[in-house]
Amino acid sequence: MKYPIRNGLIQNWDDMESLWYHLFYNGLKIAPEEHPVLLTEVAKNPKACREKMIQIMFETFNVPALHVSPQSLLSLYAKGVTSGLVVDIGDGSCKVVPVQEGCVVDGGVVDSGMSGVAITRYLRDLLRLRGVDIEDLETVRCIKERHATVLPSPFSPRDPLPSERLHQSPDGQLLPVGPEKFLCAEILFQPSLVQSEAKGISQLAFEALLKESPLVAKGGVHLAGGTTLCTGFARRFTTELQDLL
């Protein structure tokens, strides 16, 4: 399986164009030249990348109108607010994004590097240490999405962890999943577990709140992106951020 997007940025334009084609004609079953299109982008998306997206939409798919907006900004709009701090953790990127009156404050955007795919790869490494060797990253991702749980407090090797459970893969194979379900997502809060010098997501959010204008802080902190839906994430993040504040 190919991934045309890496770290939130389009890396393979031919594959991305093929994906858009499939989305329009096979997924949505529409003629793109008959519908205005809204595209999302990560905060601080390079200008050249944005221009390439626009070029393909107009010249290849002949869309009648196009709007490109940062996904973090749209997450705020969905909640009915225009200012705040967005903690946006998807599969390919993990960003803390300050937004003030509908505008992303580019100078305040921070990327931790600990995205959903980083959790998936760490889970694969943890399983291999126990002799469960899964080469296919998609299978590991399915295990993560079904079982991964964030501990309520920072992990310590002395903490008791539950015994393993069995995960049934699409081909019917039973795979044991034990403490790894708790350890894999811990890298969001303790990147040092994977030899990263990045700061934990709670610390990044705290520092961003201190640096930005009162208007951003008044708007509150908002979670966005599929990885923030991991069981226990919101509770742990809220607890750590409140302790820092």
According to the model, what pLDDT value does residue 160 have? 66
Considering the domain architecture, whether residues 51 and 141 belong to the same structural domain is answered as no
pLDDT score for 159: 66
Range of the domain at 235: 74-113+190-244
> 156 and 97, same structural domain?
no
DSSP 149: B
pLDDT in tens, 178-195: 888 888 999 999 999 888
Residues of the chain with pLDDT under 50: none
d(CA 109, CA 219): 16
- Please indicate, yes or no, whether residues 46 and 133 belong to a single structural domain of this protein: no
- pTM attached to this predicted model: 0.85
Q: Are residues 120 and 178 in the same domain?
A: yes
Same domain? 136 vs 237: no
CA distance 135 to 169: 13
**CATH number, domain at 163?**
3.90.640.10
Average pLDDT, the chain: 89
Where residue 65 sits, what CATH number does that domain have? Answer: 3.30.420.40
SS3 84: strand
197 with 179, same domain: the answer is no
pLDDT at 143: 87
pLDDT at 163: 63
- 109 in the same domain as 194: yes
**Parallel, antiparallel, or unpaired for β 84-89 and 66-70?**
unpaired
When divided into structural domains, the chain yields a total of: 3
- The answer on 109 and 164 residing in a single domain is no
Question: Would you state the pLDDT for residue 177?
Answer: 77
Q: Kindly state whether residues 126 and 81 are assigned to the same domain.
A: no
Looking at the structure, do residues 90 and 196 belong to the same domain, yes or no?
yes
Domain check: are 131 and 179 in the same one?
yes
Q: Are residues 176 and 137 both part of a single domain?
A: yes
Which of 163, 186, 209 lies at the terminal end of a domain, its last residue? 186
E-strand stretches of 56-188: 66-70, 84-89, 94-100, 103-104, 110-111, 165-168, 174-177
